[in-house]
Amino acid sequence: MIKLLRKIKSLQHLGWYQNEKKRLLKFKDLHKDQDCIIIGNGPSLNKMDLTVLKDYHTFGLNKIYLLRDRGIDLNLSYLVSVNKFVIEQSEKQYLEMEHPVFLSYKNRLENFSKNKKIHYLLSYGQREFGGDAMQPLNEGGTVTYSALQLAYFMGFKRVYLIGVDHSFKQEGKPNEKQVMKTDDANHFDPNYFKGQTWQLADLDRSEQSYLMAKNAFEADGRSVYDATLNGKLAIFPKVIFTDILKSLKKK
């Protein structure tokens, strides 16, 4: 039975293996030994000067495009999104983006098929950290984990996290689907999920994933640092964002 289920799942993802996997090859070690910043979506972003980010390699996550409404041009290098509801809610914005966008293959939408900027990550399979984006990856309970795996695949040596507050105001079970009826206090924009469906954060699973990422980077002589302003995550070494700008390699 287990073998049958695996075969069925493999057939479901045959299109990725045939058409999408090879498209990721050009990103392998593209940024070897360089630095990057992964930008989370926490409210701490509102207390930072984000205009400096345009000079650095950056990964934006999910609905980071909402910052454009405030006139903030991040000049993103990449965007990553794997959650079904976020992808559905962001279809128009993702189609308009000029930089590469990495989405979950299982949550792909029909209108994305002809957009050459959109690339797909196959998210199922092993539970451990996946350093090869041309193989199935583990979503790990947070889009930040997918971005960390992609950054590793691209060869980045030092990765800095900002806006990963790791703190949520929520009532219910982890991953439970809810419609947010109030302003969104968990993200940098009060309209982020307001009136829309979202899934409650799974902080325990996220921490397990972050620990695997930390171990994988360090085992390869690389590092992940947490530069989030007053963030609650206690996995990665803490650094002050304004201090790291002095040594951070630019594009």
Q: Where are the beta strands (DSSP E) in the chain?
A: 35-39, 58-61, 78-81, 101-104, 118-121, 158-162, 177-179, 197-199, 223-226
Compute how many other C-beta atoms are within 10 angstroms of the C-beta atom of residue 115: 13
Q: How far is CA 223 from CA 22, 27, 36, 215, in A?
A: 27, 19, 11, 9
Report residue 188 as tokens.
């940098």
Q: Is residue 250 part of a domain?
A: no
Rounded distance, CA 239 to CA 251, Å? 21
Q: Is residue 251 part of a domain?
A: no
Q: Is residue 249 part of a domain?
A: no
pLDDT, one tens digit per residue, over 13-58 is 888 888 899 999 999 999 999 999 999 999 999 999 999 999 999 9
Q: Is residue 95 part of a domain?
A: yes
Three-state secondary structure call for residue 101: strand
Q: Is residue 77 part of a domain?
A: yes
Res 126: pLDDT: 54
Res 8: pLDDT: 41
Report residue 200 as tokens.
């409650």
Give the total number of structural domains in the chain.
Answer: 1
Res 110: pLDDT: 87
* Contact indicator for 94, 82 with CB cutoff of 8 Å: no
Residues 6+ apart with CB under 8 A from 67: 45, 50, 74, 188, 189
pLDDT, one tens digit per residue, over 194-240 is 999 999 999 999 999 999 999 999 999 999 999 999 999 999 999 99
Res 15: pLDDT: 85
Three-state secondary structure call for residue 194: coil
Res 4: pLDDT: 37
Rounded distance, CA 140 to CA 154, Å? 19
Rounded distance, CA 124 to CA 184, Å? 29
User: What CATH number does the domain containing 148 carry?
Assistant: 3.90.1480
Q: Is residue 80 part of a domain?
A: yes
Three-state secondary structure call for residue 1: coil
Q: Is residue 203 part of a domain?
A: yes
Res 199: pLDDT: 96
Rounded distance, CA 102 to CA 80, Å? 5
Res 202: pLDDT: 94
Rounded distance, CA 226 to CA 249, Å? 17
Q: Is residue 74 part of a domain?
A: yes
Res 2: pLDDT: 47
> Which residues span the domain enclosing 24?
2-244
Report residue 166 as tokens.
């790791």
pLDDT, one tens digit per residue, over 102-146 is 999 999 998 888 899 999 999 865 578 988 999 888 888 999 999
Choose between 160 and 114: higher pLDDT.
160
Residues of 210-224 as b/e, b for ≥16 C-beta within 10 angstroms?
bebbbebbeeeebbb
pLDDT band at residue 163 using 50, 70 and 90 as cut-offs: very high
